[in-house]
Homo-oligomer: A and B are copies of this chain.
Amino acid sequence: MKPQIVFQGEPGAYSELAAFEYFGSGISPLPCASFEDAFAAVADGTARYGLLPIENSLAGSIHRNYDLLLESDLSIVGEYHLRVSHCLMALPGTTLSDVHQVHSHPQALAQCKHRLRQMGVEAIVEADTAGSARMIKERGDTTAAALASKRAADVYQLQILQESMEDNPANYTRFLALTAQTTQEHTKGDFKTSIVFSLQNQPGALFKALSVFALRDIDLTKIESRPIQGKPWEYMFYIDFAGHADSQSGRRALDHLEELAAYLRVLGSYPRHRIV
**Interface residues in chain A, defined as those with a beta carbon under 8 Å from any beta carbon in chain B:** 55-60, 63, 81, 168, 170, 172, 203-204, 206-208, 210-211, 213-214, 217-227, 229-233, 275
The answer to whether B227 touches A57, judged by C-beta atoms less than 8 angstroms apart, is yes
Nearest Cβ distance between residue A83 and chain B, in whole angstroms? 10
Q: Which residues of B contact A207 (CB under 8 A)?
A: 207, 210-211, 213-214
Nearest Cβ distance between residue A232 and chain B, in whole angstroms? 4
Tell me whether chain A's interface is mostly helix, strand or loop, or mixed: mixed
Q: Which residues of B contact A58 (CB under 8 A)?
A: 227, 229
The answer to whether A275 touches B232, judged by C-beta atoms less than 8 angstroms apart, is yes
A206 to B208, CA, bound (A): 12
The answer to whether A206 touches B220, judged by C-beta atoms less than 8 angstroms apart, is yes
Q: A60-B63, A203-B218 are in contact. List 14 more A-B contacts (CB 8 A).
A: A57-B227, A57-B233, A59-B63, A60-B226, A60-B227, A170-B230, A170-B231, A170-B232, A203-B214, A206-B210, A207-B214, A221-B233, A224-B225, A233-B275
A233 to B222, CA, bound (A): 8
Nearest Cβ distance between residue A276 and chain B, in whole angstroms? 12
Of the residues B206, B219, B229, contact of A223 by C-beta under 8 Å: B206
Nearest Cβ distance between residue A261 and chain B, in whole angstroms? 16
* Complex: chain B residue closest to A241, CB-CB: B203
The answer to whether A214 touches B223, judged by C-beta atoms less than 8 angstroms apart, is no
Nearest Cβ distance between residue A164 and chain B, in whole angstroms? 15
A225 to B232, CA, bound (A): 19
The answer to whether A219 touches B203, judged by C-beta atoms less than 8 angstroms apart, is yes
* Complex: chain B residue closest to A242, CB-CB: B203
The answer to whether A203 touches B231, judged by C-beta atoms less than 8 angstroms apart, is no
Q: Which residues of B contact A230 (CB under 8 A)?
A: 168, 170
